[in-house]
Structure 1
Amino acid sequence: MTHSTIYSLFKKGSKTYFYSTLFFPKRVKEEVFILYSFLRKADDYVDAIPQDAEGFYAFQERYHQAREGITTGDVVVDSFAHLSAEKKFDEKWTLAFLKSMEMDVTKTEYQDMDELLTYLYGSSEVVGLFMARIMGLSPDSYPAARYLGRAMQYINFIRDIDEDLDLGRVYFPQEDLKMFGLDSLQPEEARRNPEGFRSFVHKQLDTYMEWQVKAEAGFKYIPYRYLIPVKTASDLYKWTGAQIRKDPLVVYQRKVKPSLPQIISHVFSNSLRLGFN
């Protein structure tokens, strides 16, 4: 049974991830809850206003202790360490994740895509790898799993442009801003140069879709019962991208995300569609 702390941490995070995950089989669902509560707790430290860097480093230290077999008393950390050992997660994946979270403490912008990809590997691609291990997928699926994690993170960046500005961060190559004549992503700059901002966002959405297509090529590795929630989350992120493409300035007006009825509807639609394939 999922611990209440783990459940509540995950639930207050991504609505799309949370409600899609509910449709995994019980064992996988419980393991995904443990994974995402660990990811969310680390993220909450670095995304707090004011940022809780001290809390993050203490969290990181508890993880290292738990990996050594010490019970830390932090149910999120202890549960993840147990899951990591059971599923034989590559320790390099977790260290890469923690490194990217530390980058959120020390770094506010990225000059080019190569620099950003270093952050994306630890913050999102390894999440795809963790998920592939939880689902027991073939290593042949790992490249696609990395692309899916990366694509989902990137659409979050696009959706959360305004929110990330409040944290003092821009998760896009600075060279892309310059390409479209943007001095920043502040709302007044976007309104001063709406065509430039629109073209900038469309370029980011094209990048997202390029990665998404590569991710979907790996769906063939996922068993039907697991594919339903994965494809549902994937479809709904594509829906988010489509809404933003229509009017990029919407990112300054509201957080574009699907409603609960949309999520449930997609689950049942995918259940029927995939069941006939």
Structure 2
Amino acid sequence: MNPKTTPAALRAQVSGSSFYAGMRVLPRAEREAMYAVYAFCRAVDDIADDQQGDRAARAAALDQWRTDIAALYTGGDAGQAALVAEAVTRFDLDRADFDAVIDGMATDVDRDVRWPSAAELDLYCDRVASAVGRLSVRIFGMAPAPGIALAHHLGRALQLTNILRDIDEDAAIGRVYLPAELLEGAGMALTTPAEVVADRRIDPAARALAKQAHDHYVEANAILAARPRGHLIAPRLMAAAYAKVLTRMEAAGWAPPRTRIRVSKLGLLWTVVRLSLTR
């Protein structure tokens, strides 16, 4: 991260994350670019999740990010978007993907997302996760076709895993991301977030979503197994680590009370060693 363009608090968030440990395997230029992209994602995500700010102020903050990203690409004053300027130039990152991430965060600002349709959830996952993947695969040096496919599947796999991990935390702020079709298919009434996540029938609904996540991991791993060009150890690491989290959640189940499963930094380091030996 460039200390001249990345606020100190944001640098601390990035360096303390499991993502930081995972990206340390990259060469320096790619690593710094990924940290910059992640810092951007953290900044807009913090706006979306700010429960102290009113919706209008949070929407205005996201709009300022849109303005700064636009200025970055048109040669104006990039403002806070300066933190990704070097990455954009070096790796020819697509403005549309930054805009998509902001659009995804705006979804959480516009309203508390509760039991979206499957199609709405898929669009949300594309914006907040696969768009980040599309930025990432350019940095990894992947060719367009396998890169976009990997971003599609791995982004959705990781986001669905996060949704399944954060059920209680999301419900506490009025959100339930599990799709209506799965909840109603399990016989649940869509009443309030607190009542929905306290219902033991959430377990089969969550397991159905976990199956979708596994399917995306399978597709992502097939792309990685074909060994397309690029720095692939980072996406291989994220796929391996988060698929393991998903498997641990399945073993524990989603019936209340739930225990939040976390990514182990020590486990990440071991996975780095293992993947380094087998690539």
Which bracket does the TM-score occupy, shorter chain normalised?
0.7 to 0.9
2:19 counterpart residue number = 17
Deviations 1:25-80 (A, max 9, x none): 11110110011111110111011112433322223322223332223442xx1132
1:163 aligns with 2:166: no
Residues 1-277 of structure 1 mapped to structure 2, 5 A cutoff? 2-3=2-3, 5=7, 7-12=11-16, 15-51=17-53, 52-74=58-80, 77-107=81-111, 108-141=113-146, 142-184=148-190, 186=193, 189-191=196-198, 193-194=199-200, 196-219=201-224, 220-223=226-229, 226-249=231-254, 253-274=258-279
Measure, in 1, the Cα distance between the counterparts of 2:45 and 2:257: 22
Partner secondary structure for residue 68 of structure 2: helix
Q: Post-superposition shift, 1:198? A: 1.7
Q: Post-superposition shift, 1:102? A: 1.1
TM-score (norm 1): 0.87
Deviations 1:113-167 (A, max 9, x none): 1122221211111111111111111112111221111111110011011111123
Measure, in 1, the Cα distance between the counterparts of 2:35 and 2:97: 18
Partner secondary structure for residue 89 of structure 1: coil
Q: Is the 8 A contact 2:233 2:276 kept in 1?
A: yes
| Structure 2: unaligned runs, 5 residues or longer | none
- Larger mean Cα displacement after TM superposition, 113-122 or 249-258: 249-258
Partner secondary structure for residue 232 of structure 2: helix
- Give the number of aligned pairs: 267
Measure, in 2, the Cα distance between the counterparts of 1:103 and 1:117: 13
| Structure 1: unaligned runs, 5 residues or longer | none
Q: Post-superposition shift, 1:21? A: 0.4
Change in CA separation of 1:234 and 1:59 when aligned onto 2, cut-off 3 Å: same
Q: Post-superposition shift, 1:187? A: 5.7
Deviations 1:207-257 (A, max 9, x none): 100111111122134558x32232122111011111110122478544311
Partner secondary structure for residue 64 of structure 2: helix
Give the counterpart letter for 1:79 in structure 2: L
Q: Post-superposition shift, 1:189? A: 4.4
Change in CA separation of 1:125 and 1:80 when aligned onto 2, cut-off 3 Å: same
Q: CA RMSD in A?
A: 2.3
Q: Is the 8 A contact 1:243 1:256 kept in 2?
A: yes
Partner secondary structure for residue 218 of structure 1: helix
Deviations 1:72-127 (A, max 9, x none): 442xx113244224322233222222211111111323542112222121111111
Measure, in 1, the Cα distance between the counterparts of 2:245 and 2:255: 11
Measure, in 2, the Cα distance between the counterparts of 1:38 and 1:251: 34
Give the counterpart letter for 1:140 in structure 2: A
